[in-house]
A and B are shown apart, each in its own frame.
Chain A
Amino acid sequence: MSDAAVKTKAPSEPLFSKKNKKLVTDPLTDNNPVTIQVLGICSALAITVQVEQGVVMGGAVLFVLILGNLIISLMRNLIPSRIRIIVQLVVVAALVIIVNELLKAFLPDVSEKLSVFVGLIITNCIIMGRFEAFAMANKPWPSIMDAIGNGLGYAGLLILVAIFRELFGSGTLYGFQIFGNSLPGEETGLYTLGYVNNNMMILPPMALIIVGIIIWVQRSRNKSLIEQH
């Protein structure tokens, strides 16, 4: 996790160099913030019941992470090391509040959807983790790339988990009925054959189990990810 963080880059490097591209692609697969670094688990539990919530949360985290990484990276030579965690926290909290206030005034519908996530974004350890591990030691551009990679890696996993939970828990995907109407008395599609939704799926423990299965599949496909003890 931190080996990439200590490298400094030569100023003449092209914007989309191999190293910079790797910053985006790594967190999507072999260094995924959720499955490999096991960060941001609490929000992965809370909001993966529906795909839509996963998309909204993923987008919000991506946005805050990019801006935050940029700001921290610009200030990295000014921040006193003894209070750096507090400074990072202030930056995230201020960013989230500013975004929320602007949405409330100009896009009230989006703001209503996001209201529940505001607290979750501030406390998301992926954001603080990237500030501390990457933006504090790297230039603005690589920091943005790193933020995009980690934000997308997080969003991707949320959506993947949400697809399983929404499909088998509610029989819908992004709100659209896949298996037919499940309301008692007016069943259609699969439900007429006696299929029932798995209510276990919409309860939080199932999110952990699904994340666990994803981690298992990922590590069995790529043995190098397994820690040696």
Chain B
Amino acid sequence: MAINRDSNSYTFGFAIVLVVAVGTILSVLAIGLKPQQEKNDIVKKQLDILSAMMDTKAKGISRKNAEEEFKKYVNLDDAIVLDVNGNIKEGVKAFDVDIKKEYKDKNMKDADRNFPLFVAELDGKKAYVIPVVGKGLWGPIWGNICLDEDMNTIKGASFGHKGETPGLGAEIAQPFFINRWIGEKISDENGDFAKFEIVKDGSGSAKESKVDGITGGTITSKGVEEMANRCLKVYSVYFKNSKK
């Protein structure tokens, strides 16, 4: 071969060809697959909301039938969006609000932030599903918290994360951790917000507003605490006002 592989021009040429080729492949792939990925995201959002309300596995709800099942339980016309003071915001569709994106946007004013609230019907009783978002040790964490018809008692929850440590922080998505939240109340007798606290001494199951953390997952557990407190507070104001 006549080409000198050590020459500068060959090195540059090779680098340019490689980068352009890889760049083209990746961008074609990303654009081509986007519609399918967005569809998956919507289904995932519906599935997350449903799994906060019930044991989706036991009911046989998966990605395949999430769309139909979601319609059965949740009426999106009843869903509302609150502002940071707990007042209803008109003209915003609850399901279209991307709270993860809003949370990431540090320049967004608190007054502009949207707080969606989904109203569902479960076994003839009303249930309220509140999406929450926060940050764990390595990246974002999120979840949905479902309240009973008294707008106070936590009936169920689902938590998710982007990349918490498997076996440690990632355990927030496991049923044993979620079960520790069930039965906790978000407001006290006066209807004011009752702050949650993640504890390490194992007293969480006995005391109100206290939840046991996860061994080895302290920062992620604390992230869940911060997430629940910041988000639920807004809703507790709305619930207090609407009960009057």
Of the four ranges (under 10, 10 to 19, 20 to 34, 35 or more), the interface on chain B belongs to 20 to 34
Task: Name 11 extra pairs, CB < 8 A, besides A47-B167, A165-B167, A183-B176.
Answer: A50-B166, A81-B6, A82-B6, A87-B15, A90-B22, A108-B44, A108-B63, A109-B63, A115-B163, A116-B162, A184-B205
Contact stretch, chosen from A34-42, A96-104, A133-141, A210-218: A96-104
Query: B164 — which chain A residues lie within 8 A by C-beta?
Result: 116
In the complex, are the beta carbons of B162 and A80 less than 8 A apart? no
Asked if B40 and A105 make an inter-chain contact with CB atoms under 8 angstroms apart, the answer reads yes
Q: With a CB–CB cut-off of 8 A, which chain B residues contact A169?
A: 167
A199 CA to B200 CA, complexed, in Å: 13
- A199 and B14: CB pair below 8 A? no
Is A144 interfacial (CB-CB < 8 Å)?
Answer: no
CA distance A185 to B202 in the complex (A): 11
> Which 3 residue pairs are nearest across A and B when measured between Cβ atoms?
A49-B167, A105-B33, A116-B163
Q: Which single residue of chain A is at the shortest CB-CB distance from B10?
A: A80
CB distance B168 to A116 under 8 Å?
Answer: no
B44 close to A94 (CB less than 8 A) = no
The contact sample of 12 A-B pairs, CB cut-off 8 A, is: A46-B165, A46-B166, A49-B166, A53-B166, A81-B5, A83-B11, A83-B15, A94-B22, A94-B26, A104-B33, A105-B37, A202-B168
Q: Does B25 contact A (CB under 8 A)?
A: yes
A78 within 8 Å of B (CB atoms): yes
Instruction: List A38-94 residues whose CB lies under 8 Å from chain B.
Output: 46-47, 49-50, 53, 78-83, 86-87, 90, 94
Contact yes or no, A87 B18, CB < 8 A: yes
> Once bound together, how far apart are the Cα atoms of A75 and B63, in whole Å?
41
From B19, B36, B138, give the contact of A106 (CB < 8 A).
Answer: B36
Does A50 lie within 8 Å of B40, measured CB to CB? no
Q: How far is the CB of A30 from chain B (nearest CB, A)?
A: 30
* Residue of A whose beta carbon sits closest to that of B5: A80
- Cα distance, A83 to B25, chains bound together (Å): 21
Q: Tell me whether B14 and A79 are in contact (CB under 8 A).
A: yes
User: Measuring CB to CB, which residues of chain A are less than 8 angstroms from any residue of chain B?
Assistant: 46-47, 49-50, 53, 78-83, 86-87, 90, 94, 97-98, 101-102, 104-106, 108-109, 115-116, 119, 165-166, 169-170, 183-185, 199, 202-203
With contact pairs A80-B11, A82-B11 given, residues A202 and B170 touching in the complex (Cβ less than 8 Å): no
Interface residues of chain B: helix, strand, loop or mixed (majority) = helix
- B171 CB to closest chain A CB (Å) equals 9
Complex CA gap A115/B160 in Å reads 12
Give complex CA distance A115, B36 in Å. 18
Q: How far is the CA of A170 from the CA of B10 in the complex (A)?
A: 55
Give the complex CA separation of A13 and B36 in angstroms: 46
Say yes or no: is B29 at the interface (Cβ < 8 Å to chain A): yes
Residues B166 and A116 in contact, CB atoms below 8 Å apart = yes
Q: Return chain B residues, CB-CB under 8 Å to A101.
A: 26, 29-30, 33, 37
Q: Using CB atoms and an 8 Å cutoff, list the residues of chain B in contact with chain A.
A: 5-6, 10-11, 14-15, 18-19, 22, 25-26, 29-30, 33, 36-37, 40, 44, 63, 138, 162-168, 170, 176, 202, 205, 215-216
What does DSSP make chain A's interface, helix, strand, loop or mixed? helix
Closest beta carbon of chain A to B79's beta carbon, Å: 24
Min CB distance B176 to A, Å, is 6
Q: How far is the CA of A203 from the CA of B33 in the complex (A)?
A: 38
The smallest C-beta distance from B34 to any residue of chain A, in angstroms, reads: 8
Structural contact, A104 and B40, CB atoms closer than 8 A? yes
Bound CA span A98–B30, Å: 9
Q: Least Cβ distance of B26 to chain A in Å?
A: 6
Distance between B163 CB and nearest chain A CB, rounded to angstroms: 4
A83 and B176 contact, CB distance less than 8 A? no
Highest count of chain B CB atoms <10 Å: which of A46, A79, A98, A105: A105
User: Contact between A202 and B40 (Cβ–Cβ < 8 Å)?
Assistant: no
Are A53 and B167 in contact (CB-based, < 8 A)? yes
**Within the assembled complex, what's the spacing in Å between the Cα atoms of A53 and B167?**
9
CB distance from B37 to the nearest CB of A (A): 5
CB neighbours of B166 from chain A (8 A): 46-47, 49-50, 53, 116
**Min distance, Cβ A208 to any Cβ of chain B, angstroms:** 15
Within the complex, what minimum Cβ distance (angstroms) separates A21 from chain B? 33
> Within the assembled complex, what's the spacing in Å between the Cα atoms of A61 and B37?
24
Closest chain A residue to B176, Cβ basis: A183
B26 touches A98 (CB 8 A): yes
